[in-house]
Chain A
Amino acid sequence: SQTIHQWPATLVQPVGSPLSLECTVEGTSNPNLYWYRQAAGRGLQLLFYSVGIGQISSEVPQNLSASRPQDRQFILSSKKLLLSDSGFYLCALGGPSGGNTIYFGEGSWLTVV
Chain B
Amino acid sequence: KQEVTQIPAALSVPEGENLVLNCSFTDSAIYNLQWFRQDPGKGLTSLLLIQSSQREQTSGRLNASLDKSSGRSTLYIAASQPGDSATYLCAVTGGGTSYGKLTFGQGTILTVHP
Contacts and interface: CB of A to CB of B under 8 A. Distances in A.
Interface of A: 32, 34, 36, 43-44, 46, 49, 51, 57, 59, 88, 90, 92, 94-95, 97-107, 109
B19 interface: no
B49 A101 contact: yes
B101 A49 contact: yes
Contact of B101 (A59, A88, A106): A59
- Of A32, A59, A98, A105, chain B has the most CB atoms within 10 Å of the CB of A98
A43 B104 contact: yes
Contacts of A90: 43-44
B63 interface: no
B89 interface: yes
B107 A107 contact: no
B42 A102 contact: no
Given A34-B101, A44-B102, A102-B102, 16 more contacts: A34-B102, A43-B107, A49-B100, A59-B101, A88-B41, A90-B43, A94-B99, A98-B31, A98-B98, A100-B49, A100-B100, A102-B91, A102-B93, A105-B43, A106-B42, A106-B43
Contacts of B71: none
State the main secondary structure of chain A at its contact with B.
strand
B43 to A, nearest CB: 4
B28 interface: no
A60 to B, nearest CB: 12
7 contacts: A43-B107, A44-B91, A46-B101, A102-B46, A104-B44, A104-B45, A104-B46
Contacts of A97: 100
A99 B31 contact: yes
The 9 closest A-B pairs by CB, nearest first: A98-B100, A94-B100, A104-B44, A44-B104, A106-B43, A104-B43, A98-B99, A107-B43, A101-B49
